[in-house]
Structure 1
Amino acid sequence: MTFFDPSAWGGRLYSGGWVTGRGGEHTVVEPATGSAIGTYAEASREDLSRAAAIAEQAQRSWEQVPPDEKAAILRRAGSLIDEHADVLVDWLVREAGSGQGKAHFEAGLVSSEFFLAAGTALAPYGQLLRSAKPRLSLARRRPVGTVGVISPFNFPGILSARSIAPALALGNAVILKPDPRTAVSGGLLLAAVLEEAGLPEGVFQVLPGGAPIGVALIEEPSVRVISFTGSTAAGRAVGELAGRLLKRAHLELGGNNALIVLDDVDVPAAVSAGAWGSFLHQGQICMTTGRHLVHERIYDEYVERLARTAEGLRAGDPTTGTPLGPLIDAGQRDKVHAFVTSTVDAGARLAAGGTYTDLFYQPTVLAEVSPDQPAFTEEIFGPVAPVLKFADLDEAVDIVNRSEYGLSLGILAKDAFAAYELAERIPSGIVHINDQTVDDEAVAPFGGVGFSGTGSRFGGHEPNIEAFTETQWVTVQSSIERYPF
């Protein structure tokens, strides 16, 4: 049997093995063509309750597995993803509408998460504490038990793996609810990888479904931590429900990320960076460059070159090698187009794009944008680059800081240290000097502030250990302490 043969998983979900779910069968639709490319089972609340019981039992044994054995399984998972990268890439292209380059990049990120997690399994997990008494005093990290992961459609593989891998490494069981539009590349394929890597049955489960299954996952008593990646609106609901239940919720939410372009830059290089930041994966990235702030002395040249670049990029069926693919569905396309048309109606100039065929939205540049126009104030999640001019740094800082988002910031400048000083004035979870706003590495802390989330909870050993463990204080002394009672 070939790896990830549909005969093994088609029409099923993964919960104690490949099983039929009670929520009915869901057809996987390729957004570029509208064709059916597979089926899987949706989960019901009964499936969730069953999965939680399986996870709770399996976690007790998994926690006791020696760390080197955990690390070996996770390394094997990373190797399997690399060995079968073509399978993951194919599903990312067809199911998520990813361009070939984006899909290959994402596949590499997914394997890197499992390789990093193998190291996390072997990392120090506590510290010795000084004590006023003659005893050993230490703080150590313990697994939380079962972690619930809710992941989105845009980078489905990596945005699932970056929670799954470290949570497993730290001795937890994981129940994943992927977005139903990308349940294969964002969940079921990872289940097949971990199964083949030797992860014990029940430690990882995939329950595809809509919002009701997400609510059930949060409400399940044995699930103590929720790792959510998605929109700010949905994140508020997740955080509110988790808070009422006294559960930790790690929220990585939306962004309206600014790229500040100073007047001393190499303009063609700046335009190349700006176009990549706005148009990669059709702008469907939380880190997408959603606002271009360009110094007035180079503004006209920047807009003209960016519009020309946008006109040279075409959206089409990514299986044919086009750089940009489709938007995920008609609802997202209509939302994007509404932002474009309302911003033009408010006085902006359409410099490029603004048209679509089916789900293929052409890269769009909006010029003469003002800070209060819809495409500048909101997260669009589409291939749209609003460009605004500024006169001095104080004005640029004021405009950027009007947004309540704070995920990623890019500053392009000849003087990198001046750009670094400028960044000190702008709250942001991520800052890139002389790069655009989209980037990720398994070893780097990732997270936003403000409406973009609850801070860095992903990337590197320390944030991951903080996210998926509890701290326990332990003391040991050689004889029983004497008391006056």
Structure 2
Amino acid sequence: MANYTDLNLQFINGSWRAGAGSAEIDVMNPYTQQSVTRIQSASQQDIDEAYESAKAAQKEWAEVNAFEKARVMEKAVHIMEERREELIRILVEDAGSTRIKANVEVDFTIAITRHSAAFPMRMEGTMPPSIIPGKENHVYRKPLGVVGIIGPFNFPMYLAMRSVAPAIATGNAVVVKPASQTPLSGGTLLGKIFEEAGVPAGIINVVMPKTSEIGDGFVEHPIPRMISFTGSTGVGQHIGEIAGRMIKKTVLELGGNNPLVVLDDADIPLAIQGAAFGKFMHSGQICMAVNRIIVHKDVYDEFAKGFVALAKGLKHGDPTKEDTLIGPLIDQNSVQRLLGEVEKAKQEGAEVLLEGEVEGNVMTPFILKGTNDMTTAKNEMFGPVVTIIPVDSEEEALRVANDTEYGLSGAVHAGTDSKAMAFARKMETGMVHINDQSVNDEPLVAFGGEKNSGIGRFGGDWSLDEFTTFQWVSVQNTSRKYPF
């Protein structure tokens, strides 16, 4: 099976072609800092053509037999299983993924696509009873039409596919705009997979524009009825404002400031292991990553000593090596931003428990002791920087955990499940994990956040609902008596 080619081209209406934009996108390997490929950017006209082709193709795709849609989705799963090593290589090259992380991402991507393969069989209708004599009610589930999907750089393939797969499976067409840092694994790779799986031309389109050239043209376009966005809270708020003005549906998965809470009767070795995974997986570049560790003062010393020792031993460097745990950050801008945040926290009085080092785009762990008001605790780090916050009581731990504008994920470690459950139910987050860590995602559960962490839910029946709409059709079978 030959590797995919032309991944540096736009995919519009079943055709692979150079963009008509005036800019060039240089895709860089985050570890080697060498160019992977160059892409001629998409123009606004390219985006128009992508949306128009999606609109035209969607009407026929919606009428395709459910078994045929399911077959196409299952074929996509088979392709990803067969091309696993190729997908991993691309994730390592343009996203800086370690092989460990890339394997996890491919697993997630396959799982969400396999689950979505059942959706064509669930586009059924219901017949609720009517209060009107002789009336027969029908409520039909229908596709939305065209969905615009904007993906991030951190888990580019999976976080695009969790919208692409359910959208296509439920009869929609999509236009994908991947992050400029990861246009291959987050965009054109998905186009290749579904093209090979037999999706008709126009059902999936991938465009790679420069925001400086198109502005808000992707979101403001009149054709898409829904925008699915994963990324920063600031950009999500802007997209939400546009969508609200244009009456477009949105699903927004945004930033997080995720706490891992360690109560006084917790299993400390287990909490240390969970915190290390939840913080340093993919160098902390995960929306669900642990950002703050809130520890009861009675177990603080034991936890901090063990956590620092474990972090010191994590292998870092070349992401192509099987045992590398911490690979590169996406670019040098991220490195410099994090170093600046650490310096601010130091000036604010943070105590450095472990001073990280920087080698190119690779940053080793920084562990600080501080308060919830310090820069590194207030802001989402999106890197291998974490703040440990000692607290005097369970009540204070809960207050500190909830004292943030975000509410995506979290974790709590306690001596009994009942104690942890009582604490978890009071946490103001969309997701909480007991005796575990904050980085969890599964195809059958509700994934999403509260407060400034987003709107909507991915996974299971929640994805089915997000990417469809309903139509009520009634039939008056007997003459109805009107008041006039």
TM-score, normalised with respect to structure 1 = 0.96
Corresponding position of 2:27: 28
Structure 2 contact 270–435 (Cα < 8 Å) conserved:
no
Matches within 5 A, 1:181-330: 181-211=181-211, 213=214, 215-321=216-322, 322-330=324-332
Corresponding position of 2:83: 84
* Secondary structure, counterpart of 1:425 in structure 2: coil
Structure 1 contact 177–213 (Cα < 8 Å) conserved:
no
Corresponding position of 2:366: 364
Q: Distance in 2 between matches of 1:319 and 1:202?
A: 35
Q: Which runs of 5+ in 2 are unaligned?
A: none
* Secondary structure, counterpart of 2:328 in structure 1: coil
Corresponding position of 1:381: 382
Q: Distance in 2 between matches of 1:364 and 1:125?
A: 52
Corresponding position of 2:151: 151
Structure 1: which amino acid aligns with 2:220?
E
Q: Distance in 2 between matches of 1:10 and 1:427?
A: 41
Structure 1: which amino acid aligns with 2:16?
W
Structure 1 outlier segments of 4+, above 6 Å: none
Measured against aligned partners, the alpha-carbon deviations of 1:109-153 in whole angstroms (never above 9, x if no partner) come to 111111111111112533221102313202222111100000000
Structure 2: which amino acid aligns with 1:423?
A
Corresponding position of 2:463: 464
Structure 1 contact 179–209 (Cα < 8 Å) conserved:
no
Within the alignment, does 1:340 sit opposite 2:342 as a pair? yes
Q: Of the candidates 9, 12, 15, which is equivalent to residue 15 of structure 1?
A: 12
Corresponding position of 2:418: 417
* Secondary structure, counterpart of 2:342 in structure 1: helix
Structure 2 contact 134–480 (Cα < 8 Å) conserved:
no
Structure 2: which amino acid aligns with 1:374?
T
* Secondary structure, counterpart of 1:228 in structure 2: strand
Q: Of the candidates 347, 350, 353, which is equivalent to residue 351 of structure 1?
A: 353
What is the Cα deviation at residue 353 of structure 1?
A: 3.0
Identity of aligned residues (%): 39
Q: Distance in 1 between matches of 2:438 and 2:258?
A: 7
Measured against aligned partners, the alpha-carbon deviations of 1:220-273 in whole angstroms (never above 9, x if no partner) come to 111110000000011011101111111111111000000001122222221111
Structure 1 contact 178–209 (Cα < 8 Å) conserved:
no
Matches within 5 A, 1:106-125: 106-125=105-124
Q: Which runs of 5+ in 1 are unaligned?
A: none
* Secondary structure, counterpart of 1:269 in structure 2: helix
Structure 2: which amino acid aligns with 1:343?
A
Q: Distance in 1 between matches of 2:298 and 2:335?
A: 34
Distance 1:480 1:87, change over 3 A: farther
Structure 2: which amino acid aligns with 1:357?
E
Structure 2 contact 8–184 (Cα < 8 Å) conserved:
no
Structure 2 contact 283–328 (Cα < 8 Å) conserved:
yes
CA RMSD of aligned residues (A): 1.5
What is the Cα deviation at residue 10 of structure 1?
A: 4.6
Q: Distance in 2 between matches of 1:425 and 1:96?
A: 36
What is the Cα deviation at residue 3 of structure 1?
A: 3.2
Distance 1:481 1:99, change over 3 A: same
What is the Cα deviation at residue 86 of structure 1?
A: 0.7
What is the Cα deviation at residue 481 of structure 1?
A: 4.8
Matches within 5 A, 1:68-83: 68-83=67-82
Structure 1: which amino acid aligns with 2:198?
G
Q: Distance in 2 between matches of 1:483 and 1:116?
A: 48
Corresponding position of 1:454: 455
Q: Distance in 2 between matches of 1:77 and 1:413?
A: 42
* Secondary structure, counterpart of 2:320 in structure 1: helix
Q: Distance in 2 between matches of 1:138 and 1:331?
A: 54
What is the Cα deviation at residue 482 of structure 1?
A: 6.3
* Secondary structure, counterpart of 1:297 in structure 2: helix
